[in-house]
Amino acid sequence: MTDTRPPGQAAPTATQRPDGSGCLRVLQVSAEIFPLLKTGGLADIAGALPAALSTAACDVRVLLPGFPAIVAGLQDATAIGQFSLPWGESVRVLSGALPAVQGAEGAAVRAYVLEAPGLYDRPGNPYEDAQRRPYADNHRRFAALAWGAARLARDLDPDWAPQVVHGHDWHAGLVPACLKLTAGKQVPCVFTVHNLAYQGIFSADVFGDLGLPPSAFQVDGLEFHGQISFMKAGLFYADKITTVSPTYAREVQTAEQGFGLDGLLRTRRSDLTGILNAVDTQVWNPATDIHIPHHYAADHLAGKAKCKAALQDEAELEVTKDAPLFTVVSRLTEQKGLNLVLAGIETIVQGGGQLLVLGSGDHELENAFRHAAQSHKGHVALRVGYDEPFAHRIFAGSDITLVPSRFEPCGLTQMYGLLYGSLPLVRAVGGLADTVIDADLATLDDATATGIVFANFSEADYRHAVRRALALYRQPRAWARVRQTGMHQNFSWTQAAQHYRAVYIAALPDLSRAST
Ligand code: ADP
Ligand code: GLC
């Protein structure tokens, strides 16, 4: 890395801060953030990480695109500057505070938001138009995020500049490229892969818009089979790479799960770490959850039975405690293994169980579940859409959380299921393999079992797993024991935040690292 500081100027250290405290200044860059804008787990993580890192001696600010929900939710916003994008468009940078999550303690998280209505002020989904086609100018919309990060890392805010920039997923993939390949102060960059399936691929024709030197468009750069890959840019130029579970960190290095980037990831394996996502227990805790009708805890489960009855009633399922209630809260996509769930409906219903699905996405999947709900009234129900409070009520009322994914970088719903006393039924892949312990004779005996895990992505294996869940439900004492173990799992952010801090420190140039 080139040091562009004027001669004689000391390297910035992790302990140098205008107010003199010893925090490491980190700028997080992500496209979504809970509670302002969420389409999936990325938002949950981006929302929880700043507060978690603040307990690990980090001073974290976030940079976000100015989607309408984000601009509307930013508190005490003031414009702190503006800059021009490579194609001439001007962007104002707002600085403000993120709203606190209800019940959360600690100072509000500071955020920078790119105010560029021409790029971001569109209704609906942040990435796609009403026909579910990616916006044609997505390369500009997310290149702007990278340029914003580079400017903030260098000179945009006279009162604060990060020592490390941390970008999330392909939307922030150009951040390390901008920082590495353009003139100005060099700030180390960490890049986190949340899902390698979404890469931000664009035609080579738009390369000129990105404002990067022509040398970037090569195989040792962001070129990917003749196109531009924002994900590859992140993986290639970042100083350190993380992904969201240890198992996924291994899986992405294989041809099967590498989406064409496994070779690069193998090359970079000494810079790659898997850090398991955690759960924000200010938001996800059945003892305090603001969205559920009755509170409960592992040693006080009466509220859970009431939540189940209320959920069955709300979903127009037969209200009976005897039927094990299987639930899905998910984006309806290929990734999530929902064709297995469809193939297993008869097994659930014939076994005396019920199924409730909350999701939106693929219309064919929506229709297939709609059809199943019509054929099994009172036993199968579907709610199409995105509904955060309903998702909470589902985990609270559910007995089994289904996550039979084809691949799963981490997965959060199985962890929410565990903490809410809904046993996860998962495939042994990615973060699912890292978070659920299969109930077999040995793990039932030593009380380490937390759910049902199956290995192969096949209808037969999935159905067998469903039958095992049904059988376990018919053994109330064993069931209760597994549920207790699950509810006592510790998914707190403390450990993950320490891991991220260690990765940030490792990304710092030697001189600054020495002083942390
Ligand atoms: P992914 O990010 O791949 O979608 P995760 O399990 O990491 O999967 O995170 C999904 C997040 O989105 C969870 O917080 C889950 O509760 C939420 N979620 C998914 N679908 C819906 C929906 N239809 N309504 C409400 N919340 C949803
Ligand atoms: C991605 C992954 C999911 C992960 C989430 C948060 O959307 O699909 O497995 O939990 O990011 O890291």
Cβ atoms < 10 Å from Cβ of 438: 21
Same-domain check for residues 218 and 85: yes
Closest CA to 138 of 39, 58, 51, 67: 67
Contacts 24+ apart (CB under 8 A), 474-479: 478/439, 478/444, 479/423
Q: Of all protein residues, whose CA lies closest to atom 10 belonging to ligand 2?
A: 411
For ligand 1, say whether the CB of 201 is within 6 Å of any of its atoms. Answer: no
What is the pairing mode between strands 223-224 and 227-229?
Answer: antiparallel
Please indicate, yes or no, if residue 293 is contained in any of the structural domains.
no
Same-domain check for residues 481 and 500: no
Q: Of all protein residues, whose CA lies closest to atom 7 belonging to ligand 2?
A: 41
Give the count of domains, the chain. Answer: 2
CATH assignment at residue 392:
3.40.50.2000
Please indicate, yes or no, if residue 89 is contained in any of the structural domains.
yes
Same-domain check for residues 458 and 396: yes
Same-domain check for residues 113 and 204: yes
127 Cα to the center of ligand 1, angstroms: 16
Mutate to test the pocket of ligand 2, among 34, 195, 407 (most ligand atoms within 8 A of CB): 195
CA-angle at 483, arms to 477 and 488, nearest 5°? 130
The number of the ligand 2 atom at minimal distance from the alpha carbon of 277 is 12
Q: Are 161 and 152 in contact (CB under 8 A)?
A: yes
Q: Of all protein residues, whose CA lies closest to atom 4 belonging to ligand 1?
A: 40
What is the pairing mode between strands 110-115 and 58-65?
Answer: parallel
412 Cα to the center of ligand 1, angstroms: 7
For ligand 1, say whether the CB of 360 is within 6 Å of any of its atoms. Answer: yes
Same-domain check for residues 269 and 402: no
For ligand 1, say whether the CB of 432 is within 6 Å of any of its atoms. Answer: no
Distance CA 96, CA 98 (A): 7
Alpha carbon of 241 to those of 166, 193, 236, 378: distances in Å? 10, 8, 9, 47
Mutate to test the pocket of ligand 2, among 194, 259, 275, 414 (most ligand atoms within 8 A of CB): 194
Structural tokens at position 183:
């003139």
495 three-class SS: helix
- Going residue by residue through the chain, which has 516 residues, state the pLDDT in tens, using 9 for 90 and above: 333 333 333 333 444 443 434 699 999 999 999 999 999 999 999 999 999 999 999 999 999 999 999 999 999 999 999 999 999 999 999 999 999 876 566 779 999 999 999 999 998 899 999 888 999 999 999 999 999 999 999 999 999 999 999 999 999 999 999 999 999 999 999 999 999 999 999 999 999 999 999 999 999 999 999 999 999 999 999 999 999 999 999 999 999 999 999 999 999 999 999 999 999 999 999 999 999 999 999 999 999 999 999 999 999 999 999 999 999 999 999 999 999 999 999 999 999 999 999 999 999 999 999 999 999 999 999 999 999 999 999 999 999 999 999 999 999 999 999 999 999 999 999 999 999 999 999 999 999 999 999 999 999 999 999 999 999 999 999 999 999 999 999 999 999 999 999 999 999 987 666 666
Same-domain check for residues 47 and 131: yes
Residue 193, judged by CB atoms within 10 A of its CB (0-12, 13-18, 19+), counts as buried
Diameter over CA atoms, the chain: 77
Please indicate, yes or no, if residue 286 is contained in any of the structural domains.
no
Q: What is the pLDDT of residue 9?
A: 33
Distance CA 485, CA 370 (A): 35
Please indicate, yes or no, if residue 189 is contained in any of the structural domains.
yes
The number of the ligand 1 atom at minimal distance from the alpha carbon of 412 is 6
Q: Of all protein residues, whose CA lies closest to atom 3 belonging to ligand 2?
A: 411
Q: Are 95 and 74 in contact (CB under 8 A)?
A: no
Please indicate, yes or no, if residue 292 is contained in any of the structural domains.
no
Please indicate, yes or no, if residue 41 is contained in any of the structural domains.
yes
Same-domain check for residues 220 and 352: no
Please indicate, yes or no, if residue 162 is contained in any of the structural domains.
yes
Alpha carbon of 214 to those of 210, 218, 476: distances in Å? 10, 8, 65
Instruction: Give the binding-site residues of ligand 2, using a 6 Å CB cut-off.
Output: 40-42, 45, 194-195, 244, 277, 408-412, 431
For ligand 1, say whether the CB of 58 is within 6 Å of any of its atoms. Answer: no
Ligand nearest to the Cα of 410, by number: 2
Q: What is the pLDDT of residue 17?
A: 41
Same-domain check for residues 351 and 237: no
How many residues are present in the chain? 516
Nearest 10 degrees: Cα torsion 174, 131, 123, 37: -60
Same-domain check for residues 256 and 315: no
Q: What is the pLDDT of residue 12?
A: 39
Residue 192, judged by CB atoms within 10 A of its CB (0-12, 13-18, 19+), counts as buried
Same-domain check for residues 316 and 398: yes
Distance CA 21, CA 19 (A): 6
Q: Of all protein residues, whose CA lies closest to atom 22 belonging to ligand 1?
A: 386
CA-angle at 388, arms to 301 and 276, nearest 5°? 75
Same-domain check for residues 260 and 312: no
Buried b (16+ CB within 10 A) or exposed e, 103-134: eeeeeebbbbbbbbeebbebeeebbeeeeeeb
Residue 214, judged by CB atoms within 10 A of its CB (0-12, 13-18, 19+), counts as exposed
For ligand 1, say whether the CB of 388 is within 6 Å of any of its atoms. Answer: yes
Ligand nearest to the Cα of 330, by number: 1
Q: Are 446 and 323 in contact (CB under 8 A)?
A: no
Please indicate, yes or no, if residue 288 is contained in any of the structural domains.
no
- Residue 157 is part of which domain span? 25-277+493-515
For ligand 1, say whether the CB of 337 is within 6 Å of any of its atoms. Answer: no
Same-domain check for residues 366 and 446: yes
The number of the ligand 1 atom at minimal distance from the alpha carbon of 383 is 23
In the chain, the amino acid numbered 71 is V
113 Cα to the center of ligand 1, angstroms: 24
Closest CA to 33 of 62, 68, 54, 76: 62
